[in-house]
A = this chain, B = another copy of it.
Amino acid sequence: MEETGTRSGGRQRATLRTVAQATGLAITTVSRALAKDPRIAAQTRELVAEAARAQGYVPDRAAQRLRTGRTKVVQLLLSLDHEFLGFTHDLLGGLTDALQGTGYSVTLFPDVMHADRMTAVRTIVENRLGDGIVFNRTEPFDPRVRYLTEQGFPFVSHGRTEFTTPHPWVDYDNEAFARAAVARLAYKGRSRILMILPQDRFTFAQHLRYGLVAACRERGLTWETPEAVSLSTPATEVAAFLRQRLAAPDAPDGVVCVGEVAAIACLSAMADLHLHPGRQLDVVAKRASAIFDLLRPTVDTVFEDLWEAGRAMGRTLLRSMQGEAADALHVLQAPKIEFKTHP
């Protein structure tokens, strides 16, 4: 019933053969002409181009892929369990943006819950499901990075590793973020800094911690990074934790929020305790969307441009797929500091 074979529309699907017949040339010639092969006479090239356009010829992806082994597909490993607000959206936007017009399309490879992260990567490589891989939540000695590097398979990670062999990555300078946040809090006269970190196994947790500790030491401030909660903890639990912590006698007077959800959780805890930013304590948050313009009370924010990160990843991956050496393939995004309240 669904088996039409020839798709509706009546007319024959345009292939190299139909174009060849129309021009009286051989299939090979047509193929080459369309590939702008210099061996084909310029005149012939134009003739072919014309005929192809007239027929609305579009090369068949499946056939190309079968023949060449290239898929023209970028596989995006998506962790869909919890999210840093808007993360998926912006990263996706930037990524597809960068790939626009290159012939590559983005396919989602969902992290099956609780499955080993390596399985996904291995499946993609072994079954040639794509020409390149994009992933995030990178770990210091991420096995995916090791494997893909060994295989010589193009990829780009969001986040760095601690491998000595270079590999393509795009990252946000979280250390600088932490430093800037602490500096801001110090400027406001705060001295007991609390920061909720990502799960310890992610590389950027280390960067944040390092920035926090270094900046606090330099200034003689104290710091704390609660073990009980992380950025992966459900936001309501984070809020509950903070409600308790901020009510304690030795409560911190400065909080750094590394995500929008965490920031909102923090604000909610403060509201419940009738604490106000600028009064009993101050807050600096990482901002990835326009939402902070709307939150009341307002807090200081440092911007992380995820759309741009996505674009950088797309561009980096393209270069990696073109065989460029990994040495130069990194982008470190600088925090955009733009504190609203005037110093």
Residue numbers of A with Cβ under 8 A of B are: 1-2, 4-5, 7-9, 56, 58, 60-63, 65-66, 69, 71, 73, 78, 80, 83, 85-89, 92-93, 96-97, 100, 105-110, 112, 125-129, 151-152, 234-236, 239, 261, 264-265, 267-268, 271-272, 290-291, 293-297, 323
Q: A236 with B89: in contact, given A107-B107, A108-B105, A127-B58 (CB under 8 Å)?
A: no
Q: Which residues of B contact A235 (CB under 8 A)?
A: 290-291, 293-294
Residues of chain B with a CB closer than 8 A to A71's CB: 62
Instruction: Provide the bound-state CA to CA distance between A93 and B88, in Å.
Output: 10
Q: List 21 A-B contacts (CB under 8 A).
A: A5-B69, A8-B152, A9-B126, A62-B62, A62-B66, A80-B89, A80-B96, A80-B97, A83-B86, A85-B86, A88-B92, A96-B110, A105-B109, A106-B107, A107-B107, A108-B108, A235-B293, A235-B294, A265-B294, A268-B294, A271-B296
| Known pairs A108-B96, A294-B236; A66 contacts B60 (CB<8 A) | yes
Q: Which residue of B lies closest to A260 (CB)?
A: B291
- Does A293 lie within 8 Å of B323, measured CB to CB? no
A295 to B260, CA, bound (A): 12
User: Chain B residues near A293 (CB, 8 Å)?
Assistant: 235-236, 239
On whether the beta carbons of A268 and B290 are closer than 8 Å, the reply is: no
Residues in B with CB closer than 8 Å to A296 are: 267-268, 271-272
Known: A93-B80, A109-B105. A239 touches B294 (CB 8 A): yes
A25–B171 CA distance with the chains assembled, in angstroms:
52
Residues of B within 8 A of A110 (CB): 93, 96-97, 100
For the complex of A and B, list the 4 residue pairs with the smallest distance between their C-beta atoms, beginning with the closest: A271-B296, A62-B65, A96-B110, A88-B89
Docked CA distance A80–B56 (Å): 28
A238 to B: closest C-beta gap in Å = 9
Kindly list chain B residues whose C-beta atoms are within 8 Å of the C-beta of A295.
264, 268
A109 to chain B, nearest CB (A): 7
Contacts of A96 in B (CB 8 A): 78, 80, 108, 110
A87 to chain B, nearest CB (A): 7
Q: Are B92 and A80 in contact (CB under 8 A)?
A: yes
**Bound complex: CA A290 to CA B82 (Å):** 11
- Taken together as a complex, chains A and B put the C-alpha atoms of A58 and B97 apart, in Å, by 32
Q: Identify which of B1, B56, B106, B151 contacts A108 (C-beta below 8 A).
A: B106
